[in-house]
Amino acid sequence: MSEFQQKCSIIGRDRLAPDVFRLTLQAPKIAAEAQPGQFVMVRVIDGLDPLLRRPFSIHRSCADGSISLLFKVLGKGTAMLARRCVGDELDLVGPLGNGFDFSDERPVCLIGGGMGIAPLLFLAEQLHSTGRATEKDHILLGARTKDELTPLADEFSALGYTVQLATDDGSIGRKGFIPDLLGFVLPTVEQVYTCGPHLMMENVVRQCQQAEVHCQVSLETHMACGIGACLGCTVNGKRGLVRVCQQGPVFNADHLEWSLV
Amino acid sequence: MSEFQQKCSIIGRDRLAPDVFRLTLQAPKIAAEAQPGQFVMVRVIDGLDPLLRRPFSIHRSCADGSISLLFKVLGKGTAMLARRCVGDELDLVGPLGNGFDFSDERPVCLIGGGMGIAPLLFLAEQLHSTGRATEKDHILLGARTKDELTPLADEFSALGYTVQLATDDGSIGRKGFIPDLLGFVLPTVEQVYTCGPHLMMENVVRQCQQAEVHCQVSLETHMACGIGACLGCTVNGKRGLVRVCQQGPVFNADHLEWSLV
Amino acid sequence: MKEEAVLLEKNPEKKVEAREAVPCIMPDLRVQIGSLALRNPVMTASGTFGYAREFENLVNLDRLGGIIVKGISLHPKPGNPPPRIVETACGMLNAIGLENVGVDRFITGKMPYLRKLTTPVVVNILGDSVEEYSEIARKLDGAEGIAALEINISCPNVKKGGVAFGTVPEMAAKVTEAVRRSTTLPLIVKLSPNVTDIVVMARAVEDAGADAVSLINTLIGMSIDPITRRPRLANVIGGLSGPAIKPVALRMVWQVAQAVSLPVIGIGGITTAADALEFLLAGASAVQVGTANFYDPSAAESIVQGLTSYLQEQGEDCLVDIIGTLKTGTD
Amino acid sequence: MKEEAVLLEKNPEKKVEAREAVPCIMPDLRVQIGSLALRNPVMTASGTFGYAREFENLVNLDRLGGIIVKGISLHPKPGNPPPRIVETACGMLNAIGLENVGVDRFITGKMPYLRKLTTPVVVNILGDSVEEYSEIARKLDGAEGIAALEINISCPNVKKGGVAFGTVPEMAAKVTEAVRRSTTLPLIVKLSPNVTDIVVMARAVEDAGADAVSLINTLIGMSIDPITRRPRLANVIGGLSGPAIKPVALRMVWQVAQAVSLPVIGIGGITTAADALEFLLAGASAVQVGTANFYDPSAAESIVQGLTSYLQEQGEDCLVDIIGTLKTGTD
Ligand SMILES: Cc1cc2nc3c(=O)[nH]c(=O)nc-3n(C[C@H](O)[C@H](O)[C@H](O)COP(=O)(O)OP(=O)(O)OC[C@H]3O[C@@H](n4cnc5c(N)ncnc54)[C@H](O)[C@@H]3O)c2cc1C
Ligand SMILES: Cc1cc2nc3c(=O)[nH]c(=O)nc-3n(C[C@H](O)[C@H](O)[C@H](O)COP(=O)(O)OP(=O)(O)OC[C@H]3O[C@@H](n4cnc5c(N)ncnc54)[C@H](O)[C@@H]3O)c2cc1C
Ligand SMILES: Cc1cc2nc3c(=O)[nH]c(=O)nc-3n(C[C@H](O)[C@H](O)[C@H](O)COP(=O)(O)O)c2cc1C
Ligand SMILES: Cc1cc2nc3c(=O)[nH]c(=O)nc-3n(C[C@H](O)[C@H](O)[C@H](O)COP(=O)(O)O)c2cc1C
Ligand code: FES
Ligand code: FES
């Protein structure tokens, strides 16, 4: 695996919800290498404020050399990114990180909350296109409201997956917490992949550990370099500190000191 | 006179030359007060880099509440400004500074070099609309090449002025230095207004002083506040330091210690 | 400010919770700096707000907590030759060289306007010798309408005096004592960050009779134009201010607030209410807005507004209750 | 980088002139740091370039002037608990806490890769005591493929040792002397900016036998989250780096370069060739690129390219000829 620094033209920009955007970028080198669960570091602006790149999961990678990012406006970096237009160039470094291990163990359950859904679409597409998807696979997606969820849910469904939804306000799917749906699903799957808010993942991991189902989690921490050099992104693993950017962002949940992550 | 801090929508954006832009902004409060020779301080971006506002002459002020700025991309502030689109909002403070004194003394000669032409169009329009323009007035404009000059020259001509041009490359008008044209004009005018590169203004001032013709110059210095508070923009006047932002930017040339400006 | 809005939105659950719990009363922003009572903790920093009048069309001066005017010396000072300012990454360097009208013309020319404001006016003073400091203080002691003095012992631009007073504890103490004897006005001593141990400086002026310390003044910096191979400031070196220095300022304020019992006034790169809150939580009883006045004249007023919103969202009635409430333990 | 292009375009006449005058030869970028010869003055700063391999896909490592690896201690160090980094205005704070694999595993695990590069490798070392510094130096003295040692006496993150060594001249001298006796490798001593007088520190290590000084390490800073009312770093305080600190770094480099006869290596916020040139003109014989490696992995290589263009445009054949050529007079 190899990573690149590349100036990438924005070739598509969609606003999925008032504060959720999807950018599609012409990034041939990155797209050619990208694996589900990997991410890119994006320079959101030419100036020096904000100074650091922002990490975003690769949400999609296409044979035409494009990749997509799905993001929510949270702070000033994402606000500036949301203002970039089609035709603009963004400086990217990637693909970075290890990505999901999806070599064996089926059926699977993908559990995404909020922007944690981003890498799961890429994973679902890859499972599908490599013939690894099964009819017993499950997709559980949660978000605050309907508009954050519908276009994404449709894309998973279009691949043939069974998709279950939950929203905080009940505007689509079940009203409430996505892990609440897991109880019914867990006995039927061999492997869980999850990405989303900390509380959600913590709950998912606990349920998986009780049910003795393998669980891979994709973590978020603050990152300066994204390539293992700054030692800024460490979290507590069972055997000492691990760098999320390089040894992760995907971890076997059992290898993490979950209470201290 | 009073100044305002106002968020102003960009309602027009023209590219006059590869690196010369004209922005038109909806700025009703500023437009209502603006006088030729005054300027605005523009925040080119929401972030903190670049930190300081950039000063630009008011190039035009219309009864519909809009003002125009004419600028050349020189550094990172102007580069970012050039990338702003119609519909974006810019934070402006203005109108600032004293402006030209055009109460009496005619005929006049306006001498602009490069972006120094910006405030002179506003002045020419004001002279015209207040009935102060005469047939003996002269407009001398200089720039590097033709494309920087033609649209502007046409706008002066449209007001009925006699316009003479000079370009560094001779692509329009005389090849060479704009003050070279002044010798023929000086004996026929009572008042000179000039804005442009330092060398040009120095030359103009010298000729005016020899011919005993009044000359008002509009100066550029680095500014932090634009309202007289930081004391950062001072230059040497005959009677001590003067603040360009507040006591200028327009000065009676005789009041400046020209060699030290 | 945008950033502020974002900050307060980051924890939407918390926000809603707080909103429900709190009745819609206006929080009390008043703070006390020794005997000096301020309606809110947001002042404007010396040298960045002129003599206040420059901002009268842009800022509602009567909404500010305090106004600190440009540093005043015994005699008028012409300042340094231009260029005097240069922009740097998220900051600026200045080498104004303390240009000012001198104490007499300040009292006759500037005070009449300032006296009409309802906002306390603090006069920043500087001298080339201990005696000069005393003499200015005596002159201002007699003038009407001055709420406090801020002693600038830290300006890096003047070769004589300036640097030494601000970096040697004994010298700082001497100036403070001398000024203390020359006036009954509340005394704020403004510290320089260009020292190995800011706490030692703060303790020295505390012992010498200061009523409060304010920090930080500018860090000494430099900028060069590679094309001309010349310094970008005629004075070669200058004082660095703006958001770039905020982390250093905040660290020093936190260290000093823990070490002295005097009220501490935080200064350095403050642009938004979130910035001001960092200093208040670290232990500052008030803050000063400096360079931000240049790039956002509405900054100080917006901060007052932002502090109000923050207190409402956090369910706090009084601003003083949050001062120094930074949690550094593992609780 | 964009900014660089802009800088060089600012004086278009000059550019053309220079172009016409100069035959199209490649300027000589070589510099000498004591006995250490570098193909160009652009190194990467300790802690910001890992053990170089992290950048192998992004940077042509053989085009760099030198590589300074992450600080190495006698025994492996786990570092501080997370969060360890936070972004600030044009800068970042880090409190990594000197996490590293320890000198033995460095030699066995990291040196084999580094030895294969044609670029000189400098090892940054740190200890909790004078003895530890000596012992690491002895171990590295025996290892093959190390071009020089850089002594980190300035890291603000470790409570024991770090701060005191870097702020007390006698302590700095002691460490320098001890390491000097333990190795024949060229010795660079890296200075902390958190001092009242950086020149005193530089002179102390010069007298103690250093072959060069590098500066600056990070400024001590802090950041607070107003919503949680907690420090943003688990360690509370951390080191400020990036473009924000460049003016301070440049000022200190200029002061030190005038005061000592050792070669000086400039560090602090360097992102573009224009930044590097400021330090070289101020008297630095080489520079280190730090935080910029994070936000622009191509920075160091671009700077090498930019220096070449600058010399061509200015009609200079050798980079060494421009070192310290800052004009501060009125000539
Ligand atoms: C491996 C990885 C993949 C990610 N994938 C996505 C994605 O696909 N879509 C998406 O919307 N978000 C994703 N995030 C989170 C995203 O990076 C942050 O939302 C973003 O950096 C916030 O930047 P900001 O400037 O808007 O926020 P600010 O709060 O202004 O940022 C301040 C600093 O905090 C960091 N930061 C803030 N929030 C986070 C966070 N949750 N995780 C990491 N750093 C943070 C920023 O990078 C920056 O350094 C991912 C994070 C990581 C580590
Ligand atoms: C009163 C006044 C009116 C002006 N009117 C116009 C105008 O109508 N059109 C136009 O194109 N330009 C005008 N300028 C010049 C314009 O402000 C600068 O070109 C612009 O600030 C450059 O910013 P930058 O970020 O692109 O350049 P940078 O070089 O990156 O700027 C760095 C710093 O230098 C300052 N600076 C750089 N060049 C100048 C300059 N020539 N004058 C003042 N400060 C400068 C910037 O404001 C900034 O603080 C005017 C300047 C002044 C003082
Ligand atoms: C242009 C300028 C002039 C200043 N003049 C003074 C002064 O006269 N006296 C003083 O004590 N501080 C002076 N300062 C320092 C500021 O009051 C303040 O301490 C410093 O700028 C840091 O705050 P900031 O980052 O918010 O600007 C000046 C700062 C600037 C930028
Ligand atoms: C994440 C990080 C880790 C660092 N680790 C070290 C270190 O181990 N040893 C050292 O001497 N300096 C260390 N530094 C300091 C840098 O080498 C450099 O002196 C400083 O960051 C200033 O340069 P910059 O502004 O270009 O980053 C570290 C800096 C950062 C940002
Ligand atoms: S982000 Fe730098 S090591 Fe992980
Ligand atoms: S720009 Fe601040 S006084 Fe003129």
Question: Would you list the domain boundaries of chain D?
Answer: 29-79+97-218+242-320
Please tell me if residue D85 touches chain A, with a CB cutoff of 8 Å.
Answer: yes
Rounded to a whole number of angstroms, the distance from the CA of D104 to the nearest CA of chain A is 19
Please tell me if residue D10 touches chain B, with a CB cutoff of 8 Å.
Answer: yes
pLDDT tens sequence across B218-250: 999 999 999 999 999 999 998 889 999 999 999
User: What is the Å distance from ligand 2's center to B54 Cα?
Assistant: 6
Which of D2, D6, D90 is opposite residue B49, by nearest beta carbon? D90
Task: Give residue for tokens 């002042």.
Answer: C43
Rounded to a whole number of angstroms, the distance from the CA of C6 to the nearest CA of chain A is 6
Percent of chain D at pLDDT > 90 equals 84
Given this model, what pLDDT does residue D128 score?
Answer: 86
Three state DSSP letters for D192-245: CCCCCCHHHHHHHHHHCCCCEEEECCCEEEECEECCCCEECCCCCEEEEECHHH
Ligand 1 within 6 A of CB of A220 = yes
Beta strand D85-88 with D91-94: parallel, antiparallel or unpaired?
antiparallel
pLDDT tens sequence across A126-154: 999 988 888 889 999 999 999 889 889 99
Alpha helices in chain C (DSSP H): 2-9, 12-21, 103-105, 111-115, 130-142, 162-167, 169-182, 198-207, 246-259, 273-282, 292-295, 299-314
DSSP 3-state of B22? strand
**Among D193, D315, D194, D206, CA closest to D266:** D193
Residue A68 · residue A22 · CB < 8 Å: yes
Question: What's at C83, amino acid-wise?
Answer: P
Of the options 2.40.50.1070, 3.20.20.70, 2.40.110.10, 3.40.50.720, the CATH number for the domain spanning C29-79+97-218+242-320:
3.20.20.70
Given this model, what pLDDT does residue A261 score?
Answer: 64
Residue C268 annotated as part of some ligand binding site:
yes
List residues forming the annotated binding site of A: 54-57, 77-78, 225, 230, 233, 245
Cβ contact (<8 Å) for A48 and B49?
A: yes
Given this model, what pLDDT does residue A1 score?
Answer: 64
List chains touching B (3+ CB pairs under 8 A).
A, C, D
Cβ contact (<8 Å) for A48 and D297?
A: no
Ligand 5: which residues within 6 Å by Cβ?
A 223-226, 228-233, 243, 245-246
Residue D152 annotated as part of some ligand binding site:
yes
Ligand 6 within 6 A of CB of B11 = no
Provide the CA A13 distance to its chain's centre, in angstroms: 18
- pLDDT surpassing 60 at residue D14: no
Interfacial C residues in 223-262 facing D (CB < 8 Å): 223-224, 226-231, 236-237, 240, 242-248, 250-251, 254
Task: Give residue for tokens 């600028």.
Answer: B71
Percent of chain A at pLDDT > 70 equals 98
Given this model, what pLDDT does residue B113 score?
Answer: 94
The helix (H) or strand (E) run that includes residue C70 is: strand C66-72
Cβ within 8 Å of residue D84, ≥6 positions away = A231, A232, A234, D94, D95, D96, D97, D233, D234, D235, D238
pLDDT tens sequence across B183-207: 888 989 999 999 999 999 999 999 9
Residue C97 · residue C42 · CB < 8 Å: no
Which of A48, A75, A79 is opposite residue C89, by nearest beta carbon? A48
The residue of chain D nearest to residue B79, with distances taken between CA atoms, is D6
Given this model, what pLDDT does residue D331 score?
Answer: 53
Crossing angle for the helix pair C2-9 and C299-314, nearest 10 degrees? 10
- pLDDT surpassing 80 at residue D25: no
Residue D269 annotated as part of some ligand binding site:
yes
Given this model, what pLDDT does residue D156 score?
Answer: 46
Given this model, what pLDDT does residue D11 score?
Answer: 39
Q: Which of C6, C53, C85 to mutate to test the interface with B (most CBs of B within 10 A)?
A: C85
User: Six-digit token pair at D31?
Assistant: 């510099």
DSSP 3-state of C54? helix
Given this model, what pLDDT does residue C161 score?
Answer: 44
Please tell me if residue C85 touches chain B, with a CB cutoff of 8 Å.
Answer: yes
Burial profile D272-306: b = 16 or more Cβ within 10 angstroms, e = fewer:
bbbbbbbbbbbbbbbbbbbbbbbbbbbbbbbbbeb
Ligand nearest to the CA of A222: 1
Ligand 1 within 6 A of CB of A76 = yes
Given this model, what pLDDT does residue C128 score?
Answer: 86
Q: Which residues of chain C have pLDDT under 70?
A: 1-24, 155-163, 330-331
Phi-psi region of C58 (alpha: psi -120 to 50; beta: other; left: phi over 0): alpha
Given this model, what pLDDT does residue B1 score?
Answer: 64
Question: Which residues of C are catalytically annotated?
Answer: 155
> Domains in chain B and their CATH numbers?
4-96 (2.40.30.10), 108-220 (3.40.50.80)
Which atom of ligand 4 lies at the shortest distance from residue D245's CA? 25
- pLDDT surpassing 80 at residue D81: yes
The mean pLDDT of chain D is 90
Please tell me if residue C242 touches chain B, with a CB cutoff of 8 Å.
Answer: yes
DSSP one-letter string for C15-35? HHHHHHHS-SPPPB--EEETT
**Among A206, A260, A207, CA closest to A237:** A260
- pLDDT surpassing 70 at residue D290: yes
Provide the CA A216 distance to its chain's centre, in angstroms: 12
d(C-alpha C265, C-alpha C279), whole Å: 8
Ligand 2 within 6 A of CB of B71 = yes
The residue of chain B nearest to residue D3, with distances taken between CA atoms, is B76
Q: What are phi and psi of D101, to 5 degrees?
A: -80, -5
- pLDDT surpassing 90 at residue D83: yes
**Cβ atoms < 10 Å from Cβ of C21:** 9
- pLDDT surpassing 80 at residue D158: no
Lowest mean pLDDT among C225-229, D12-16, D20-24, D118-122: D12-16
Q: Which of B13, B43, B46 to mutate to test the interface with A (most CBs of A within 10 A)?
A: B46
Please tell me if residue D6 touches chain B, with a CB cutoff of 8 Å.
Answer: yes
DSSP one-letter string for A96-146? ES-----SS--SEEEEEEGGGHHHHHHHHHHHHHTT---TT-EEEEEESSH
d(C-alpha A61, C-alpha A54), whole Å: 19
Cβ contact (<8 Å) for B47 and A46?
A: no
Ligand 3: which residues within 6 Å by Cβ?
B 230; C 45-48, 70-71, 94, 96, 98, 124, 152, 155, 190, 217-218, 241-242, 245, 267-270, 290-292
Burial profile C187-206: b = 16 or more Cβ within 10 angstroms, e = fewer:
bbbbbbbbbbbbeebbbbbb
The helix (H) or strand (E) run that includes residue A183 is: helix A182-185
Please tell me if residue D87 touches chain A, with a CB cutoff of 8 Å.
Answer: yes
d(C-alpha A62, C-alpha A42), whole Å: 19
pLDDT tens sequence across B16-58: 999 999 999 999 999 999 999 999 999 999 899 999 999 999 9
The helix (H) or strand (E) run that includes residue D166 is: helix D162-167
Q: What are phi and psi of A93, to 5 degrees?
A: -120, 130
Q: Which of B6, B48, B89 to mutate to test the interface with C (most CBs of C within 10 A)?
A: B48
CA distances from B150 to B16, B113, B196 (A): 9, 13, 17
Interfacial C residues in 257-276 facing D (CB < 8 Å): 269, 274
Which of C221, C250, C282 is opposite residue D247, by nearest beta carbon? C221
Pocket probe mutation, ligand 3, options C291, C294, C295, max atoms within 8 Å of Cβ: C291
Number of residues that make up chain A: 261
Determine the average pLDDT of the residues in A178-189: 88
The residue of chain A nearest to residue B88, with distances taken between CA atoms, is A83
The helix (H) or strand (E) run that includes residue D4 is: helix D2-9
Cβ contact (<8 Å) for D220 and C248?
A: yes
Q: Is the pTM above the cut of 0.90?
A: yes
Let me know if D90 is a catalytic residue: no
Cβ contact (<8 Å) for C96 and B230?
A: yes
Which of C6, C89, C90 is opposite residue A75, by nearest beta carbon? C6
CA distances from C217 to B107, C192, D125 (A): 53, 5, 34
Ligand 4: which residues within 6 Å by Cβ?
A 230, 232; D 45-48, 70-71, 94, 96, 98, 124, 152, 155, 190, 217-218, 241-242, 245, 267-270, 290-292
Which atom of ligand 4 lies at the shortest distance from residue D267's CA? 23
Question: What's at A92, amino acid-wise?
Answer: L
Given this model, what pLDDT does residue A103 score?
Answer: 82
Q: Which of C1, C4, C9, C11 to mutate to test the interface with A (most CBs of A within 10 A)?
A: C9
Rounded to a whole number of angstroms, the distance from the CA of D305 to the nearest CA of chain B is 20
